[in-house]
Chain A
Amino acid sequence: MARATTTQRKALNTALAWGVGLLIFFPILWTILTSFKTEAQAIADPPVFLFFDWTLENYAAVQERSNYGRFLWNSVVIAGGSTLLGILIAVPAAWSMAFVPSNRTKDILLWMLSTKMLPAVGVLYPIYLIFIKMGLLDSKLGLVVVLMLINLPIIIWMLYTYFKEIPGEILEAARMDGASLREEVLYILTPMAIPGIASTLLLNVILAWNEAFWTLNLAAAKAAPLTAFIASYSSPEGLFYAKLSAASTMAIAPILILGWFSQKQLVSGLTFGAVK
């Protein structure tokens, strides 16, 4: 039986959804607002919300003090690189788990996910040592590899669920048609999984973009991405909330815009298979 939805109920639901949405968005909004305040207004008590002297001086100061472009470029390379590398490894892995599962496939999936349950700091020391030995400290390559490994379980899990939805008979038909494994994955599976792969890519770029623990610990200057750019403004010399906010706003702007334009894709991808 369909539930009766009254107008009143709908209005209530809408208000509730907006409320929750705003609550989640509020810290970001507050950061953006603060970035346009003077340092004095930023720490004013009671806080000012909209009626302050809007200023761009923080952005100018941030631009002057650090090279935003270089950090941005590092972020793009690290987030993009780790995502692409991850997809290249995850597609065959998810293919084998989805279409030629063994008795242990479920265990492997769970085991992979369990690595995400370990506090990252627990393996910081060994990884740091490995990085020193291999000369990967403060290199983009090192960060690409680490972030790829960190997010790989999630990429494989997501692709695995998408691939599970693809009927095996279609791949068998391709095999009967004479397609090699490479051709089967390239011409049949991948085009069918494009929506799933796209949302996996997006989510992973966002995760890698925002990843702070490893990027802060393994990079100092040369390879430092935007997370380090933000961190450099919470300095021991004193708190500069307005400048910190300006730096944060600049750091999240690209990913926010990317997320905004791809939200439809992202939502449909994340709820894929959830509603039948």
Chain B
Amino acid sequence: MGRITLDKVSKRFGDVEVIPPLDLTIEDGEFTVFVGPSGCGKSTLLRLIAGLEDTSGGQIRIDKQDATHVPPAKRGLAMVFQSYALYPTMSVRENIAFGLKIRGMPKDEIQQEVERVADLLQISALLDKKPARLSGGQQQRVAMGRALARRPKIYLFDEPLSNLDAKLRADAREDLLELHRRVGTTTIYVTHDQVEAMTMGDLIVILKDGEIQQVGSPMEVYQQPANKFVGSFIGSPAMNFIDGIIKNGEFIAPGINIDLNAKDRIVDGLEVSLGIRPEDIAINHGNIEAIVIVTEPLGSETIIHVQMGETSLVTKHPSMTTLQTGEKITLQFKSDKIVLFDKATDYPVNI
């Protein structure tokens, strides 16, 4: 089992409150991703769960047991660090065996366990090398091996792939997911990369300024962002936002007039931000006039930057286009994909 419950957990460094009291439950076997811009408190939150930092308030429960003041090693967790943090004076074998040796496991069992892990991660050939002689990808595997060998209830990953190059990162991502499918252990994965979050997480926790902005599956956070921040953070290119006002169930902004068919459901005169994803803007349909500013052909798709009155928008077209800079086009927003946020509260408005 590996169920984690955070109950009003908070953290302050001196006078600075980095994490205001927050609640979160991570179910057994779930692959949870903490994502957010740097400084959002995601790593601090992970370190609180790991026990490397003391909480300033609240309770951390692991499988119903209060773990708030339990030392890291006794929580049944294993962590993979961003820098890998391998012990440089020890061979790969000793690195993997260290935690087992500390716990007093008999020598022959350690031997077996190290070999099992090395097999699983295909690092058997490296066992007698020192970390300094390994490549980044190999070091990353050894760091994983060290975590695996302890057979923990929960894995914690602190941006484990951010030091790898793009190709290796994609491979490592797949391996990690494959591994999770096989062992099925609860995993918390911290990243600042929203692509990583979307592709890996069963559950995504989006953080900003130490506060949870939204918790949900990748599809939920993508399609129903809880606020403007989530909308702009998740997805690339980011969601477009247009400020306007509601009148007779229509969204009105300079040069734009979109009927939301919500005449009696939205208060007249409400100031809102309309959010629409780049791929949900159709080109050369509808009646919104715009001018092409720049096109970025990416092969399978084209990113088109357009100017619409005083607002600039980014659209994504699922093929190559022959559009030229300065060309006049029309746009249509897919009405079922439009999201509205109340400007005053930043909460989504039901359409």
Contact = CB atoms under 8 A, between A and B. Distances in A.
Contacts of A173: 79, 81, 85-87, 146
Nearest to A178: B73
A178 B52 contact: no
A179 interface: yes
Interface in A40-66: none
B98 interface: yes
B79 A176 contact: yes
B52 A172 contact: yes
**10 nearest CB pairs, A to B:** A178-B73, A177-B99, A169-B85, A173-B85, A191-B89, A178-B102, A170-B85, A169-B81, A176-B79, A176-B72
Contacts of A176: 50, 52, 72-73, 77-79, 99
Nearest to B88: A192
Residue from A172, A177, A191 having most chain B Cβ neighbours under 10 A = A177
Contact of A169 (B73, B83, B89, B103): B83
A178 B146 CA distance: 12
Contacts of A179: 73, 98, 102
13 contacts: A170-B88, A172-B52, A172-B81, A173-B87, A175-B52, A175-B71, A176-B52, A176-B72, A177-B99, A178-B74, A179-B98, A191-B89, A194-B89
Nearest to B89: A191
Contacts of A170: 85-88
Contacts of B102: 177-179, 183
A167 interface: yes
The main secondary structure of chain A at its interface with chain B is helix
Interface in B99-156: 99, 102-103, 146, 150
Interface of B: 50, 52, 71-74, 77-79, 81-83, 85-89, 98-99, 102-103, 146, 150
A188 B52 contact: no
A188 B103 CA distance: 16
A175 B73 contact: yes
Interface of A: 167, 169-170, 172-179, 183, 187-188, 191-192, 194
Given A192-B88, A192-B89, A174 B79 contact: no
B132 to A, nearest CB: 12
Nearest to B78: A176
Nearest to B77: A176
B145 to A, nearest CB: 12
Contacts of A174: 87, 98
A39 to B, nearest CB: 55
A177 B85 contact: no
Contact of B83 (A167, A187, A192): A167
A187 B83 CA distance: 20
B87 A167 contact: no
B119 to A, nearest CB: 21
Contacts of A177: 73, 98-99, 102, 146, 150
Contacts of A175: 52, 71-73
A191 B86 CA distance: 13
Given A167-B85, A175-B73, A177-B102, 6 more contacts: A169-B81, A169-B83, A176-B72, A176-B78, A176-B99, A178-B103
Nearest to A173: B85
B327 to A, nearest CB: 48
A179 B87 CA distance: 13
A169 to B, nearest CB: 4
B16 to A, nearest CB: 14
A176 B83 CA distance: 15
B71 to A, nearest CB: 8
A124 to B, nearest CB: 43
Nearest to B79: A176
A12 to B, nearest CB: 38
Residue from A169, A178, A191 having most chain B Cβ neighbours under 10 A = A178
A247 to B, nearest CB: 44
B312 to A, nearest CB: 42
A56 to B, nearest CB: 48
B229 to A, nearest CB: 29
Nearest to A166: B88
Contacts of B88: 170, 192
Contact of A188 (B71, B77, B83, B87): B87
Contacts of B74: 178
A114 B38 CA distance: 40
Contacts of B99: 176-178
Contacts of B50: 176
Contacts of A172: 52, 79, 81, 85
A175 B85 CA distance: 12
